[in-house]
Amino acid sequence: MRIIICTAQVPFVRGGAELLVEGLRDALRSRGHVVDIVSLPYRWQPHQHLLDSILAWRMIDLNEVDGVPVDLVIATKFPSYFVTHRRKIVWLVHQHRQAYDWYGGNFSDFVNTAEDRGIRDALIQADTAALHEAQALYAISANVARRAKRYNFVDCTPLAPPSAYTDLLTHSEYGDYILSDARLDAAKRIDLLIDAVAHMTVPFRFVLTSTGPERDRLSERIAHYGLSDRISLRGFVPTAELMSLYAGARAVYYAPFDEDYGFTTIQAMRARKAVVTTSDAGGTLEFVRDGHNGIVCDPSAAHIATALDRLASDPLEAARLGGHGPETVDHITWEHVCTTLLNTAEKG
């Protein structure tokens, strides 16, 4: 089959969505299909640009390319699912959440003005129409599926994507640091981790990889608490170094607010590491079971500190919890994803 995967790209930003799309492309190619990615940049400020991005995708007709038919398009995150094609499947990564469930909260840049309210209503109505066009609807998690049902009145089947690092993740030891590789932006709540470290009674090291807009503010917070000798902000690290950090970590901290999915969770479990998360972490909770393969805390510095102290003081407990990780995520494979998507396409 000739297949095009559609996605939207924020220039200079690379994260889980990009790895998902590239992983799907490679998995489909390995099965003998001719596959490419079509990506358009988009802006969200001022908010009118969101409607412009919808129009840009709507004007793209991928039914054929250079006179040769395209058999299938697989659309992913907003606004790529506005593309026009006779056989369109949506594997929903997320909508523009600032206009959805984040509206009115700390993570949304929409404000209570007539203009923003109008744009928000237009976005949701347009999304609803576009999603109803799809031949089949999947979502990367039950959390994303619930949001689509609530706001867009569509039923999405959860279909979890594997990590790009699945075959590279290993375990070596339960070492002397706890790892976080979440992007440094507000929704990932690294500030909550720093506050928790300040409350800990057991001195322990923390290694933070990745980059993001919150880096300077987080660095100042670390300095404010006098934790520079215990919390290392590594920034972006090469894949080999990241795999080594996973292999040797005592555990992994990942407590974003209402996450869509969270590759960090399944990566930690693949490397046999317990995940410390919170009761409002969204898609992460589809995998973490408190006391079985991780610890689920109230989203407060004090409660997180207690969980971190528990693992920092007891490597055997970290090993017990981490040992249940692989069995939790072994079913998440590209074989299952490709089979599901292509079987749907063939039935259509």
- Domains of the chain, residue spans: 2-162+333-347, 177-329
Question: Could you report how far apart the first and last alpha carbons of the chain are, in Å?
Answer: 14
The predicted pLDDT at position 348 comes to: 63
Strands 72-75 and 68-69 turn out to be unpaired
Report the 10 Å Cβ neighbour count for 176. 12
Model confidence over 4-26: pLDDT tens digits? 999 998 888 778 889 999 999 99
The predicted pLDDT at position 240 comes to: 97
Q: How many residues does the chain have?
A: 348
The domain covering 2-162+333-347 belongs, at the CATH homologous superfamily level, to Glycogen Phosphorylase B; (3.40.50.2000)
The predicted pLDDT at position 16 comes to: 82
Query: Under CATH, to which class is 177-329 assigned?
Result: alpha beta
Cα-based distances in Å from 308 to 11, 177, 228, 301, 334: 36, 11, 18, 10, 33
The number of C-alpha atoms within 13 Å of 338 and in the hemisphere containing its C-beta is 18
DSSP states along 221-265: HHHHHT-TTTEEEEES--HHHHHHHHHH-SEEE---SSBS--HHH
How open is the CA angle 258-264-268, to the nearest 5 degrees?
A: 130
Query: Splitting the chain (348 residues) into consecutive groups of 10 residues, what average pLDDT does each group show?
Result: 94 84 96 96 89 94 93 97 96 95 90 93 97 97 97 97 95 98 95 98 96 95 97 95 98 97 96 98 97 97 98 98 97 96 82
pTM of the model: 0.93
Beta partners for 206?
178, 231
Q: Do domains 2-162+333-347 and 177-329 have the same CATH topology?
A: yes
Are 275 and 323 in contact by the 8 Å Cβ rule? The answer is no
- Which residues contact residue 180 at a Cβ distance below 8 angstroms, ignoring those fewer than 6 apart? 190, 193, 206, 207, 208, 209, 252, 253, 254, 264
Are 254 and 180 in contact by the 8 Å Cβ rule? The answer is yes
